[in-house]
Amino acid sequence: MYENDTQSNATATNNNASSWKQDAESSVNTPPPPTPGPDYDDIFDQGVAALRSEQADLALTHFTTAASLNPSDPRAFSMLGMTCLYWKPDLAMAERHMRRAIELGGSAALRVAHDHDGFFTSVCFGSLFITSQDVTFRADDGQHTFAATRDSIREFKLNAFVGSEYGAFHIKVRTGQNQTKNFNFAPRTQQRSESELAIRLYNAAGLTRLPPSRD
């Protein structure tokens, strides 16, 4: 009887040892859980921080990485456009990225001076946003805001006289029946080429208008 018990115990011990060995080998061969990949928002925020500290090349790297992580998000393309335009500068590359941002439903952003008196002696500075649906100006001081849907815009053209020495352009908006109002802007670079870029972006955006939301 004891001999049988001894044999049974030995068999159980061998089985347990074999099981432990298999468990040990399994734990060794099991790959570790995958490391989470980079997050779009984190990379994008790092790009913004780099730009604020005047590290344009680092900002371009972060925005390019973000764009590759999520090619359908327009924000990185918009910031790539601004970085190429104002920090590199590379007008052609800036336009390429800005057009892509608009195509994806986002905006192209340009830095401008908004004229208050018709002579550009009194201005405020801010950003002009061009989308497929509208054009918006937001002053840095929050005091002046301009917004117009594409259907209400009658002209988006270079200025022949007012602010022409600054490469200025104007947007004429319908404000009522047979009534319009001019908004004059000068580009940050004070170069005609930047105003021409704004006009091209506006015209191109009209060809990629998104259908109205049904929500």
**Domain range annotation of the chain:** 40-106, 107-210
Q: Which residue has the tokens 């018709």?
A: 118
Closest CA to 166 of 148, 150, 187, 183: 187
Q: Supply the mean pLDDT for the chain.
A: 86
Q: CA of 75: how far to CAs of 35, 55, 69, 119, 151, in Å? A: 26, 19, 12, 34, 25
- Within a 10 A sphere around the Cβ of 52, how many other Cβ atoms? 9
> What topology does CATH give the domain 107-210?
PH-domain like (2.30.29)
Band (pLDDT 50/70/90 cuts) for residue 177 is: confident
- Give per-residue pLDDT as tens, 117-164: 999 999 999 999 999 999 999 999 998 888 999 999 999 999 999 999
Describe the strand order of the beta sheet including 153-158 as a list of residue ranges. Answer: 145-149, 134-139, 123-130, 108-115, 179-187, 169-176, 153-158
Burial code (b: 16+ CB inside 10 Å, e: under 16) for 120-151 equals: beebbebbbbbbbbbbbbbbeeeebebebebe
Band (pLDDT 50/70/90 cuts) for residue 96 is: very high
- Taking every pair of Cα atoms in the chain, the longest distance, rounded to a whole number of angstroms, is 115
Amino acid 29: pLDDT: 59
Closest CA to 80 of 29, 123, 44, 34: 44
Parallel/antiparallel/unpaired status of strands 179-187 and 108-115: antiparallel
- Residue 70, pLDDT > 70, answer yes
Say how far residue 130 (Cα) sits from the centre of its chain. 13
Q: What is the pTM of this model?
A: 0.79
- Residue 60, pLDDT > 60, answer yes
Band (pLDDT 50/70/90 cuts) for residue 206 is: confident
- Residue 13, pLDDT > 90, answer no
**What average pLDDT score do residues 11-32 get?**
54
What CATH number is given for 40-106 in this structure? 1.25.40.10
Residues whose CB falls within 8 Å of the CB of residue 40, separated by 6 or more in sequence, listed in order: 66, 69, 70, 73, 76
Cα-flanking dihedrals φ and ψ of residue 90, to 5°?
Answer: -145, 95
